[in-house]
């Protein structure tokens, strides 16, 4: 099994990083489940013990509004005095850069890790170490992207996921910096262990059966990885009983709701146009979520 598939990032079986979980040579689904159990136990035992909110992965079902939430939280964190670094780790959806007000997309981080062998061999790096072409900035917010699947026959997204995992693991944050990741939809990235080094998982949930089910699965996986801070943000909630019904369903799955973004015209307009949300109720609500989080 190669570098892109080992959840612990071991480049080959029997490497120092390999714990002999058995995934490499598993032939049946029972053997894969057993390998997953061993990896989870290892990850839990070696999870970073930090009380600070510094590496935050935004997850959820496709269409739940992750990108809009990332843009809003970025704004709120900036208002709270944090220096925000945003990573677009979604290999499909375009538009996060635009929602942040970024002009000029940065070069994909997968190029940096794939082409510069020396860079991927580093155990740690700071933002200052990343070459300028791979970082765009606006109003003090720095933005990077792992890359996108743009063409047919381009190949699988393993190298993009691996780039995201390396960033989460190896980027050393300085005082006041916070990293926000816009993850790909669903749970595949958890299967790859991309979020393993995040300290906070925020699950964006819209009031729908599927979204609640996916949230439950994500929370279970995040806790299985040993990530201590996991919560949900309700999004696109109409001002009626849906918020409490959705909250109750999430509580049944042991998922705590950290905040609510009610449906609002400015949020709908921003989501439709793919433009930054800069004012209105949603901005206030995002500020409340950030205060609760910090």
Beta carbon nearer to ligand SF4, 18 or 158: 18
Span of 8-16, 62-70, 140-148, 228-236 interacting with ligand SF4 by CB under 6 A: 8-16
Q: Kindly state the tokens that stand for 220.
A: 């279970």
Answer for which of 3, 24, 127, 138 binds ligand SF4 (CB under 6 A) is 24
Report CA dihedral (249, 255, 258, 263) to the nearest 10 degrees: -40
User: Phi first, then psi: what are they for 119, rounded to 5°?
Assistant: -65, -45
Tell me whether strands 83-89 and 229-237 are parallel, antiparallel or unpaired: unpaired
Contact between 1 and ligand SF4 (CB under 6 A)?
yes
Query: Strand locations in the chain, DSSP E?
Result: 55-60, 83-89, 136-138, 141-145, 177-183, 200-205, 229-237, 257-262
- Helix (H), strand (E) at residue 93: none
Beta carbon nearer to ligand SF4, 18 or 173: 18
| C-alpha distances out from residue 200 to 38, 149, 249, Å | 22, 27, 21
Contact between 20 and ligand SF4 (CB under 6 A)?
yes
Span of 2-10, 44-52, 130-138, 200-208 interacting with ligand SF4 by CB under 6 A: 2-10
Beta carbon nearer to ligand SF4, 18 or 80: 18
Beta carbon nearer to ligand SF4, 67 or 166: 166
Contact between 281 and ligand SF4 (CB under 6 A)?
no
State in angstroms the smallest separation of the CB of 109 from ligand SF4: 22
List residues binding ligand SF4 (CB under 6 A). 1, 6, 8, 10, 13, 18-24
């Amino acid at each position: 099994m190669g570098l892109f598939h080992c959840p612990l990032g071991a480049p080959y079986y029997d490497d120092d990083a390999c714990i002999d979980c058995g995934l490499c040579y598993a032939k049946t689904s029972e053997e894969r489940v057993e390998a997953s159990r061993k990896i989870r136990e290892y990850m839990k035992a070696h999870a970073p013990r930090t009380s600070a909110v510094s590496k935050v992965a935004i997850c959820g079902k496709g269409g739940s509004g992750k990108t809009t939430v990332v843009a809003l939280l970025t704004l709120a964190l900036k208002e709270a005095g944090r220096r925000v670094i945003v990573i677009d780790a979604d290999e499909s959806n375009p538009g996060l850069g635009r929602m942040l007000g970024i002009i000029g997309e940065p070069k994909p981080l997968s190029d940096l890790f794939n082409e510069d062998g020396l860079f991927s061999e580093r155990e740690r790096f700071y933002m200052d170490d990343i070459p300028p072409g791979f970082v765009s900035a606006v109003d003090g917010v720095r933005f990077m992207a792992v890359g996108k699947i743009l063409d047919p026959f381009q190949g699988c997204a393993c190298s993009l996921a691996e780039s995201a995992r390396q960033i989460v693991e190896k980027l050393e944050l300085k005082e006041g910096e916070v990293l926000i990741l816009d993850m790909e939809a669903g749970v595949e990235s958890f299967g790859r262990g991309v979020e393993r080094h995040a300290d906070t998982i925020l699950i964006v949930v819209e009031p729908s059966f599927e979204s609640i089910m996916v949230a439950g699965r994500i929370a279970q996986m995040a806790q299985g990885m040993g990530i201590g801070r996991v919560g949900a943000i309700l999004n696109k909630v109409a001002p009626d009983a849906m918020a409490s019904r959705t909250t109750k369903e999430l509580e049944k799955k042991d998922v705590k709701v950290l905040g609510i973004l009610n449906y609002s015209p400015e949020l709908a307009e921003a989501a439709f146009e793919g433009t930054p949300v800069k004012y209105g109720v949603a901005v206030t609500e995002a500020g409340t979520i950030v205060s609760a989080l910090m």
